[in-house]
Amino acid sequence: MRCVRVACVVVFFMMIYFPILLGCSSGRKIPANVLQVGNGAEVQELDPHVVSGVTEHRVLTSLFEGLTDCDAATLEPVPAVADSWEVSEDKLLYTFHLRKDARWSNGDRVTAQDFAYSWKRILSPALGSEYAYLLYCLKNARLFNEGYLRDFSEVGVRVLDEFTLEAALEHPTPYFLSMHNHYAWFPVHQATIEKFGKIDERGTQWTRTGNLVGNGPFILTDWRPNEIISVRRNPHYWDGTAVRLDGIDYYPIDNQQTEERSFRAGMLHITSTIPLHRVEVYRREHPEALNLHPYYGSYFYRLNITRPPFDNPLVRKAFALAVDRNELTEHVLTGNEQAAPSLVPPDAGYKSDYQVMFDVVKAQKLLAEAGYPDGKGLPPVEILYNTSEAHRTIAEAIQRMWREYLNVDVRLLNQDWKVYLSSLNNLDYTIARSSWIGDVADPMNFLECFQTGVGNNRTGWSSLRYDTFIESAYAEADIEKRIALLQQAEEILLEEAPIIPIYFYTWKFLKAPEVKGLTPNLLGYMRWKDLYLVGE
């Protein structure tokens, strides 16, 4: 899904919300039956069609709901706004029947037209959504998004009646039903969007407190940037009787140690992560709070191939070979992470045929072939990372490796999340810390990011051969042949090296014993309406 990160929060956050940690005599009063969540970052926005991160996904899934949801244990699609659907024999036509009791938080009915309008919005070229490509499985969606087709009625979306929506696909998409709990597919309330701006306008006031109209289990009641996002039970939600929490408070705490101390002080029920140096402590002293689970995600570095020296594929490959991933996972990381010789994790029945292994001799040879023997003549290179103790620690380790093995001057640059994201989108970096968590448990979700012109590419890299293999895999119904096509595409990606895979994630966080109903899964998906609190 999604890029993972931890972003900035102002220092006075702790002074306002956690005075007990600063030695004051009394702490903040936690509302009864309201889950307190460390969200790790200030959200980019609360507009589901313009964001691109896990932090946003967690908040948005409490405020909005798609046609389907997924079972937290199995990740199989389950009814949400659509209570039933039919699929044609050729798997190219889906007919969704919307439940008649689904309503927006202002009481309006949720209709098929709401979804058609919303999908048109995210595909509108002027909106510039990084995630528009997730909808390219719809017939003619890419042509519309890229501006070659102007009539949205030619895209594979038809409103058959108020509660019946038809989706025609460009090619069979095995995970189509599972995608609809991703925010790219969420509906938005047309009247609210257009009250504050145009359909394809970013950054309007529609997402602010008092303005936002959603259709999820909770409604937005407070958003103070860099301080708190509060959501409370939505009285119009169709499945309201299943919702056991009265609300959720999300806190953007950039400092992992501050977040962990807040958890120990009883001010948070769930953290976004765990400081590296505290994992062993919790293993030893509080194993009941420690959560380490398999996670369908990869941590990697992007290389800006439009800038020297990374416009040279030999240099890119040399840098990729000069990373000792086993040293990182065995001595730097502490949460059962695995060294990643490829981009796609092996957790969903897929294994990369081609692997990038640590090889200093070959790296130095490639660098010499590129005209930089023993690193001579190489300009200084800069690793960009967003604010996080873990990102800094990893960058420092790789900085040391590249200095030692390639004799290159490596510098580090830290930016807060929003500035960092802007740098990525504008290719204003040389090397950048990156990651990807699967939106669905399918290797395509990782590999499709690096197609030419796709918003989540962010490297400047383009390969016609790569694009051809991806397009062929989209159209291939045979599972084994499809996997083989994806493996060939990944081999091109790793050989040309616009990215450097580093490690495969584990989902690590702290959870208080009073939190119940949380089911770990490969995608790190928290279904908020399943959670409840006991014994407080």
Residue 262 within any structural domain of the chain: no
- CATH number reported for the structural domain that contains residue 108 in this entry: 3.40.190.10
CATH number of residue 304's parent domain: 3.10.105.10
Calpha distance 345→319 (Å, rounded)? 21
Q: Are residues 107 and 230 in the same domain?
A: yes
Handedness of CA 178, 179, 180, 183 (dihedral sign): positive
Which positions ≥6 away from 430 have C-beta within 8 Å?
303, 304, 307, 310, 381, 382, 383, 384
> Would you say residue 431 lies in a domain?
yes
Whether residue 217 sits in one domain with residue 89: yes
Strand partners, 436: 298
**pLDDT score at 28:** 60
Q: Mind listing the pLDDT tens digit for each residue in 164-213?
A: 999 999 999 999 999 999 999 999 999 999 999 999 999 999 999 999 99
The answer on 488 and 344 residing in a single domain is yes
Q: Are residues 18 and 135 in the same domain?
A: yes
- Residue 263 located in a structural domain: no
CB atoms within 10 A of CB 365: 15
Which residue(s) pair with 516 in the sheet?
532
pLDDT score recorded for residue 194: 98
Do the domain assignments include residue 65? yes
CB distance 328 to 393 below 8 Å: no
- The answer to whether position 100 is within a domain reads yes
**Cβ atoms of residues 9 and 221 within 8 Å:** no
Taking alpha carbons only, the member of 241, 160, 239, 190 closest to residue 49 is 190
85 and 120 together in one domain: yes
330-388: per-residue pLDDT in tens? 999 988 999 999 999 997 788 999 999 999 999 999 999 999 999 999 999 999 999 88
Residue 22 to residues 74, 250, 386, 447: CA-CA distances in angstroms? 43, 21, 26, 46
Same domain, 526 and 462: no
Same domain (yes/no): 487, 515: no
The verdict on residue 3 lying in a domain is no
d(CA 221, CA 258): 25
**The residue type at 172:** P
Taking a C-beta distance cutoff of 8 angstroms, is the pair 430, 315 a contact?
no
Q: Which structural domain, as residue segments, surrounds residue 382?
A: 297-506
Distance of CA 130 to the CA centre of its chain: 12
Structural domains in the chain (count): 2
**354 part of a folded domain:** yes
Is 292 domain-assigned?
no
Considering the domain architecture, whether residues 230 and 159 belong to the same structural domain is answered as yes
Low-confidence ranges of the chain (pLDDT < 50): 2-26
Question: Is there a single domain that holds both residue 490 and residue 515?
Answer: no
In a shared domain, residues 502 and 516: no
Q: Which residues pair with 103 in a beta bridge?
A: 109
As a whole number of angstroms, the distance between CA 521 and CA 395 comes to 28
Q: Are 489 and 371 in a shared domain? A: yes
**494 and 520 share one domain:** no
